[in-house]
Amino acid sequence: MSRHPAVDAILSNLESTRNRYGDAAYIRAVEQAVKEVFRNGQEDLKAIVKETFGDIVDIARLERETLKTPAVDLKQAMAQQLKQQMPGLQTQAQFDVFMAAFDALRLYMGNVFSGQPYAQAKEALLKSLDVAVDATKLSEKLGHVPEASTNPEADKYKNPPKEFGETEHFQSLMTDLDSIRSREQLNQWYSATKAQREMIVSSSLRNQLFDNIRSIRAVYSGFPYGSLNSSRER
């Protein structure tokens, strides 16, 4: 495998660290460099790093540790703020309407600031404000109707936003994965945690979770990590 220019730069810096501070510092620097590539690097660069440093550090452990730290996206960050600052937002329907209104506001303001036509974006924003009122009224109504509990269409008007609790579910699942030591154990865990996995809806958290699952499955199956089909996991 041909070397990536970024890897040459990493190796040069690491060799300088070894010469100045010794082998222990060199190993720590390698681990940090590998984690940084896993966190931000392209897939081809990750593959080269695995090959280059695989005999020096525990690549699988570093990859799992990197995946355990979620990269929070805008939607997830917004959910955490809303959970703390908007106690009246109680249902999935209300959260979805808020995010739609926020997207409409961003589009409207972006068009205004850039001198682009904004009438359509303004119309979408005003419509989303009306929908928020309707979603709240329906949430309040269905919350007092027992028979609505049997209608899946009513769930989003009764259940709290999944986004409010998904970080806790994510951390719990990632902690579970750290204790798995066989393919059989992984399969049992996967079957038992379906409902918990479905509570994770943000793409950044889902991607990291399933990347970790595929990585562990590869370890206990003998398959190359990249050969596993992500669509079958989801």
Check pLDDT > 80 for residue 149: no
Domain spans of the chain, in order of start: 5-67, 90-160, 163-233
Phi-psi sector, 58: left (phi>0), alpha (psi -120 to 50), beta? beta
pLDDT band of residue 131 (cuts 50, 70, 90) is very high
Whole-number percent of the chain with pLDDT over 90: 25
The pLDDT assigned to 2 comes to 45
For the cut 60, the answer to whether the pLDDT of residue 229 exceeds it is: no
Residues 6 or more apart whose Cβ sits within 8 Å of residue 197: 169, 173, 209
pLDDT value of residue 227: 38
- Which are the contacts of 140, defined by CB distance < 8 A and separation ≥ 6? none
Q: Which residue has the higher pLDDT, 48 or 224?
A: 48
* Band of pLDDT at residue 4, cut at 50, 70 and 90: low
Stated pTM of the model: 0.56
Say if residue 199's pLDDT is above 60. Answer: yes
Q: 57 φ, ψ to 5°?
A: -130, 165
101 vs 125: CA distance, rounded Å: 6
Give mean pLDDT, residues 97-109.
91
Percent of the chain with pLDDT over 70: 82
Residues 6-24 have a mean pLDDT of 78
